[in-house]
Amino acid sequence: MVTLLLDSTQLEVVLSPFERTLARRVDPVRVERASIRKVQLTDDAWTWLRGVPNPGTRVRGTIAMGTWRSSGGDDFVVVRRRQPAAVIDLLPDAEFARLVLTTRHGIALVQALRLEGEDDPLDVAEIAAAAESEESVSPRPRRRRRAAPSAVTA
């Protein structure tokens, strides 16, 4: 799984050595936060792939990593199996037109992008873990039981 780092100015997609090899990319992908147009969550990232890998690797239904070239612009893709993904559309002046990344922390990423960023980069997985721990600490609201209807005598 890719590591997503987010600070006040940029989103950084850090690849593991295995992912760098398959994506045929040495450096992490850095996207200015201001150039993010839209973020969408999907259960099937494979439907969002367009074009052909160049350079990149594709094993049908298993892995797709690297740069995908198409007439709509270049996309950077890190897709594994049938896992949830985030599709990030970027402004035309960015290196890529779109990022398609499988991640378990899509909701946390969307929430973090809405917030004003920190100066220090934060791992999106840490943001998601903090949100989950806050949910487990807060008590659940109790349901009120409705009173049984009283019998009316005439």
pTM of the model: 0.73
User: Is the pLDDT at 149 greater than 60, yes or no?
Assistant: no
Question: Tens digits of per-residue pLDDT, 93-120?
Answer: 899 999 999 988 888 888 888 766 555 6
Give residue-wise pLDDT tens across range 8-62: 888 999 999 998 999 999 999 999 989 999 999 999 889 999 988 888 888 888 8
Please identify which residue in the block is written with the tokens 């792939």: 49
Give the pLDDT of residue 105.
Answer: 84
Q: Averaged over 76-85, what is the pLDDT?
A: 91
pLDDT at 154: 45
pLDDT at 79: 92
CA distance 108 to 126: 9
> What gap in Å lies between CA 35 and CA 30, rounded to an integer?
11
What average pLDDT does the segment 110-134 reach? 68
- In this prediction, residue 122 carries a pLDDT of 64
User: Which stretches does DSSP call E strand in 70-121?
Assistant: 75-80, 85-90, 98-102
Looking at per-residue pLDDT, the higher value among 77 and 151 belongs to 77
CB 114 within 8 A of CB 62: no
More confident residue, 91 or 123: 91
pLDDT at 114: 79
Instruction: Give the HSE-up count for residue 107: Cα atoms under 13 Å, Cβ half-sphere.
Output: 6
CB neighbours of residue 127 within 10 Å = 19
Is residue 146 pLDDT above 60, yes or no?
A: no
Separation of alpha carbons 3 and 121, rounded Å: 12
